[in-house]
Amino acid sequence: MENNQFSFRNSISNLFSKLSFSKKSSKPKENKSNSSLEFIINNFTEFTIEDYFTHSKIFLEYDEIEAVIIIMKNCIFLCHLFPDEFNNNNNNNEIKEIKENPIFSKLIFSQIYNFEFIVNQGELNSIILLYFEKDINFKIQSKINFFYNKDSFIIHHFIKKNYILFWQIKFESNILKENENGNKYEIYQYHFYVKKINQYGKYQDRILMCSTKVN
């Protein structure tokens, strides 16, 4: 991995620092959830618990902070630590104490440039996320360290699954067309970020997509 391509400055924690996640973030509703996680999702995001996949306690290495990563159907949330399922001691009093939005970052899957799962024998596992912050020319690298290796495999599975699914839906709904003969549709296989050299010898960022019809 060529690390010099990417900025490491406060990686994820500053991403979307001014982003308004939803109107729900201004004032929490009366608690009707049975967990702090569900309360946060229902009150501080535009999603519901039905859009949730999994979460885990993590350490953001470049930011040097502990946090919680929450994998949703369409995005990833990073959240300050909260009374959660890790100790199985939730109660309504703890949940009602969450008055301010603990979510500090939202990363949608279309921003992810690449990711690398690092399995360390005898040590804690990590995931390195490479993503665009504002546009394709401004790349950020963030290293997520896990407190529980079991969680790292689960989180990586859902990131990979949702990342591929997002781009499959995007390409097949906007670019790939129905084949002329028969009713079979052209199916997305995978895509790669590449560098094209133009006629002036300058590099241009492009996406190379492979399908069942075009390679």
DSSP 51-106: GEEEEEEEEETTTTEEEEEEEESSEEEEE---S-TTTT---HHHHHT--S--EEEE
pLDDT at residue 179, rounded to an integer: 56
Same domain, 33 and 72: yes
Same domain, 142 and 162: yes
Same domain, 162 and 73: yes
Same domain, 18 and 60: yes
- Residue 69, beta-bridge partner list: 56, 78
pLDDT at residue 95, rounded to an integer: 53
φ, ψ at 177 (rounded to 5°)? -120, 170
**Interval 133-178: pLDDT, tens:** 766 667 888 999 999 999 999 999 999 999 988 888 888 887 777 6
Same domain, 132 and 142: yes
Total of domains in the chain: 2
Q: How many helices (H) and strands (E) does the chain have?
A: 3, 9
Could you tell me the residue range of the domain that residue 215 belongs to? 176-215
Amino acid at 99: K
Where residue 131 sits, what CATH number does that domain have? Answer: 2.30.29.30
Please identify which residue in the block is written with the tokens 């390409």: 171
Same domain, 127 and 203: no
Which segments of the chain have a pLDDT < 50? 1-4, 9, 12-33, 85-90, 92-93
